[in-house]
Amino acid sequence: MRAQIKLGRIAGIEIGLHYSWFLIAILIVFSLKDQFRTVNPDWSLGLMWAIALVTAVLFFVALLLHELAHSLVAQSRGLRVRAITLFALGGVSQIESEANDAKSEFWIAIVGPLTSLMIGFICLGLERLASPRGSSEPGAPLLALLLWLGRINIVLAVFNMIPGYPLDGGRVLRSLIWWLGHSQERATKWASYTGQAVAFLFILYGLFGFFTGRNYQGGLWLAFIGWFLLDASRSTSLQMEIMTGLRGRRVGDIMERDCALVEGHISLQDFVDEYVLRSGRRCFMVVQNNSLVGLITPNEVKKVPREEWLQTSVQSAMIPLRQLHVVSPETSAIEALDLLTHQDVNQVPVVSQGHPVGIFSRGQVIRYLQAHSELGKH
Ligand SMILES: [Zn+2]
């Protein structure tokens, strides 16, 4: 989840919004306005809108505090936090690496729901203190705001403590299994299984509510959250497997050594006929006097009109070296994979003292991990 709108930095952590967040913000404002109208029909329309808007903004602040709590504890445990992104279903803290021990993982996970719980109780407490005696429904706008914020934060804390990875409760569960069983991998596996089980229950229960008509909207919403959870818990467990498999490996261990080279001066037509079609490869490093000058794939060729292929050299169509990210054989495999993800590319050339020595690609990482798991060693 990458932020599309950047809001600034807190403690060095980039705070951002994903577009999908606005959808939820609008939904919250509209449903709050309707709710206020049924509870307090004598309020003016302008007041209702204003209170709904302020409540939504404060809800956003509460979500941010929840994520900040995760991030600040992670930082205090020596982990780097890149960013916090708020999106349709809440927030995510992008913590760069895994916690080193079960206790850190436990505290990083649990501090979020604790923060939401605390905010919830503070809001409800303030509302109680300020309410006129004997009234059960909030009369004043400020009280309605406190009541809603208090309730939603407690719901948020409880929802997040559902033991389904990657929800906070799932992370807490994982840290406990890790702590008791001394194996991070086994803990991840079990937490991911419970995550998928919880997700299936959400989906089933949601669809049941939807099709039986008992809970039309809520059912669909629950099924949607379940589907999201399922996807998230599957991809985190896959990611964890990859990370475990790559631990301690260097780019040089994994890269494709037998890499395809092409001289920069030949024409695109010759490149396509003699290299691409004959070898079936997709990625070629372009060299000049044995030095890497760029990279070319069929994508670059397609950008040049076919009738110009004879007059255009590979060198003028390639992605030049200055636009490429390169790694060295000594770069750690995890770092290189991270680079692919953040630059949104499929491969990077591996260069040693200016000379191309290989290609590091997602496909190669997968093949490497498959070969290792088939042979039963990690
Ligand atoms: Zn959380």
What digits encode the pLDDT tens for the residues 191-222?
Answer: 888 888 888 888 888 888 878 777 666 777 77
Structure tokens at 361: 């690609």
The average pLDDT across 311-333 equals 86
**347-352 long-range contacts, CB within 8 A, separation 24+:** 347/283, 347/295, 348/324, 349/285, 349/292, 349/295, 349/324, 350/251, 350/252, 350/255, 350/326, 351/292, 351/326, 351/327, 352/328
Contact 332, 342 (CB under 8 A): no
Residue 278 belongs to a domain: yes
Residue 281 has pLDDT above 70, yes or no: yes
Which one of 103-117, 257-271, 323-337 scores highest in mean pLDDT? 103-117
Residue 120 has pLDDT above 90, yes or no: yes
Residue 177 belongs to a domain: no
Residue 269 has pLDDT above 70, yes or no: yes
256 shares a domain with 242: no
307 shares a domain with 217: no
Residue 358 belongs to a domain: yes
pTM for the full predicted model: 0.67
Residue 369 has pLDDT above 70, yes or no: yes
If you measure from the C-alpha of residue 229 to the centroid of ligand 1, how many angstroms do you get, rounded to a whole number? Answer: 14
If you measure from the C-alpha of residue 113 to the centroid of ligand 1, how many angstroms do you get, rounded to a whole number? Answer: 6
If you measure from the C-alpha of residue 233 to the centroid of ligand 1, how many angstroms do you get, rounded to a whole number? Answer: 15
Mean pLDDT check: name the lowest of 39-48, 168-177, 329-338, 359-368.
39-48
Residue 376 has pLDDT above 70, yes or no: no
Mean pLDDT check: name the lowest of 133-137, 256-260, 342-346.
133-137
What is the domain extent for residue 196? 184-247
Residue 135 has pLDDT above 60, yes or no: no
If you measure from the C-alpha of residue 22 to the centroid of ligand 1, how many angstroms do you get, rounded to a whole number? Answer: 20
If you measure from the C-alpha of residue 24 to the centroid of ligand 1, how many angstroms do you get, rounded to a whole number? Answer: 18
Judge if the upstream peptide bond of residue 166 is cis by omega within 30 degrees of 0. Answer: yes
CATH number at residue 293: 3.10.580.10
Domain closes at, from 95, 126, 161? 161
20 shares a domain with 89: yes
Residue 170 belongs to a domain: no
Domain closes at, from 106, 129, 161? 161
State what percent of residues in the chain have pLDDT above 70. Answer: 93
If you measure from the C-alpha of residue 167 to the centroid of ligand 1, how many angstroms do you get, rounded to a whole number? Answer: 7
Residue 178 belongs to a domain: no
Structure tokens at 217: 């909207």
Give the count of domains, the chain. Answer: 3
The average pLDDT across 2-18 equals 78
If you measure from the C-alpha of residue 362 to the centroid of ligand 1, how many angstroms do you get, rounded to a whole number? Answer: 30
137 shares a domain with 189: no
pLDDT tens for 56-95 read: 888 888 988 998 999 899 888 888 887 888 876 677 777 7
pLDDT at 216: 67
If you measure from the C-alpha of residue 273 to the centroid of ligand 1, how many angstroms do you get, rounded to a whole number? Answer: 54
Domain closes at, from 161, 176, 203? 161
Contact 246, 378 (CB under 8 A): no
Residue 239 belongs to a domain: yes
Contact 124, 147 (CB under 8 A): yes
Structure tokens at 348: 């990077």
If you measure from the C-alpha of residue 193 to the centroid of ligand 1, how many angstroms do you get, rounded to a whole number? Answer: 19
190 shares a domain with 94: no
271 shares a domain with 222: no
125 shares a domain with 26: yes
If you measure from the C-alpha of residue 118 to the centroid of ligand 1, how many angstroms do you get, rounded to a whole number? Answer: 14
